[in-house]
Amino acid sequence: MNDIVMALREMSLKNGHKFLLMIFALVFFSGEAFGYDCTTHTYDDISFDQTQSTFFPEDKIFIKITCKRLPPGIYKSRVNWVRHNHGVIRYNDQQFELKLQSDRGFYFWMKLDKEGSFTRLVNNSDYDEKLLGKWCVEAFLNDDALTTKCFDVQERRFN
């Protein structure tokens, strides 16, 4: 580590303006040059036509993560389904390999668990009320954080 620090000091003294430009480029372009260019959207069906941020307990919740220009390599994608104030409720992961640089989409889904027959009868509800409220999906690629997408699960109101 000291060797690296010494080399950087020496470079900054000899080529001060070039060193500053390099640091500026690293800071300014770090997200694109060293990170992943990914977006995350939530949907209520597999047509992936209309994004959605509010769901009902009986809905399937689909997550589509799209990353642009991924370099060749072996990847592991993971999502954490996080219930606000309750932590990670569930996670999903998948591995894939890219032979060439390309765009890649990942798809995950979750359906909330229904209560058992006896609990439904006693509570007069199909779903645990603790599952209602704010949720977030944390997406990772090779353990690097990609995106966080939040959504709400609310009780369906009938008039």
Q: Are residues 56 and 126 in the same domain?
A: yes
Q: Are residues 57 and 119 in the same domain?
A: yes
Q: What pLDDT was estimated at residue 94?
A: 95
* For residue 66, pLDDT beyond 50: yes
Instruction: Give me the mean pLDDT over the 9-15 stretch.
Output: 55
**Choice between 55 and 14, residue whose per-residue pLDDT is larger:** 55
**Choice between 128 and 117, residue whose per-residue pLDDT is larger:** 128
Q: Are residues 22 and 79 in the same domain?
A: no
* Domain enclosing residue 133, as ranges: 37-153
Confirm whether 159 is domain-assigned. no
SS3 33: helix
Instruction: Give me the mean pLDDT over the 115-136 stretch.
Output: 64
Map tokens 């036509």 to a residue.
49
* 41: CATH: 2.60.40.10
Q: Are residues 61 and 97 in the same domain?
A: yes
Q: Are residues 62 and 98 in the same domain?
A: yes
Cα(32)–Cα(101) distance, rounded to whole angstroms? Answer: 15
Phi, psi for 138 (deg, rounded to 5): -100, 120
Instruction: Give me the mean pLDDT over the 120-138 stretch.
Output: 72
Cα(90)–Cα(143) distance, rounded to whole angstroms? Answer: 16
Q: Are residues 8 and 55 in the same domain?
A: no
CA 80 from centroid of its chain's CA atoms: 8
Phi, psi for 63 (deg, rounded to 5): -115, 130
Query: For the chain, what is the mean pLDDT?
Result: 77
Number of domains in the chain: 2
Confirm whether 158 is domain-assigned. no
Confirm whether 14 is domain-assigned. yes
pTM score, whole prediction: 0.68
Strands of the chain (E only): list them: 37-43, 54-55, 60-70, 73-83, 87-98, 102-111, 133-141, 144-153
Q: Are residues 20 and 80 in the same domain?
A: no
Instruction: Give me the mean pLDDT over the 149-158 stretch.
Output: 85
Q: Are residues 132 and 58 in the same domain?
A: yes
